[in-house]
């Protein structure tokens, strides 16, 4: 009897993980971007859609998707407000009915430190289980 209860509980726990992506999940995302700016300020890349798909290409709705930012960028909503103010480089949500998770990326560019142009990068990585996609923005600051 104890073994039956244990096996039933184990099966229930495994079946209860419905918000997790299956093996073979793929994440697709936006193409890389390149921008040139003339001075210090911010650049926002709005509505970066990352889509989780199963191994047959079908969208995966209502699963966990986690985002990480890198370089000079933070994860924001469409208006440039941090999605996670206590840690603006990390954001976790669920995919919508089309398998999409959406973030925007706000890059803060400092003032020129000389007369040579400077290059900065900002990135957003969408991760589902062990699958991920990296969006990279290259920002050239003209200082001459």
pLDDT 10s digits, 91-103 = 999 999 999 999 9
The domain that holds 124 is classified in CATH as 2.60.40.10
6 domain-assigned: no
Q: How far apart are CA 118 and CA 10, in angstroms?
A: 55
- Position 10 confidence tier, pLDDT thresholds 50, 70, 90: very low
Please tell me the predicted confidence (pLDDT) of residue 113: 87
Please tell me the predicted confidence (pLDDT) of residue 7: 38
Residue 27 pLDDT greater than 80, yes or no: yes
Domain total in the chain: 1
pTM for this structure?
Answer: 0.83
14 domain-assigned: no
Instruction: Name the burial class of residue 77, with classes exposed (0-12), middle (13-18) and buried (19+) by CB atoms within 10 angstroms of its CB.
Output: middle
119 domain-assigned: yes
Averaged pLDDT, 21-42: 93
At 142, list the tokens: 């003209």
Residue 2 pLDDT greater than 60, yes or no: no
114 domain-assigned: yes
To the nearest whole percent, how much of the chain has pLDDT over 70? 87
Chain mean pLDDT for the chain: 88
For residue 37, what are the domain limits? 19-141
Question: Position of tokens 């911010």?
Answer: 42
Q: What are phi and psi of 4, to 5 degrees?
A: -65, -45
């Amino acid at each position: 009897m104890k073994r039956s209860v244990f096996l039933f509980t184990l099966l229930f726990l495994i079946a209860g993980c419905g918000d997790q992506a299956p093996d073979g999940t793929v994440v697709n995302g936006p193409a890389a971007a390149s921008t040139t700016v003339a001075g210090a300020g911010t650049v926002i890349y709005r509505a970066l859609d990352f889509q989780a798909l199963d191994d047959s290409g079908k969208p995966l709705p209502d699963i966990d998707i986690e985002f990480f930012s890198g370089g000079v960028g933070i994860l924001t909503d469409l208006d440039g407000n941090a999605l996670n103010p206590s840690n603006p480089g990390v954001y976790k949500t669920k995919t919508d009915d089309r398998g999409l998770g959406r973030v925007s990326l706000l890059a803060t560019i400092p003032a020129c430190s000389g007369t040579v142009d400077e290059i900065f990068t900002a990135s957003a990585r969408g991760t589902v289980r062990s699958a991920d996609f990296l969006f990279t923005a290259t920002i050239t600051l003209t200082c001459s």
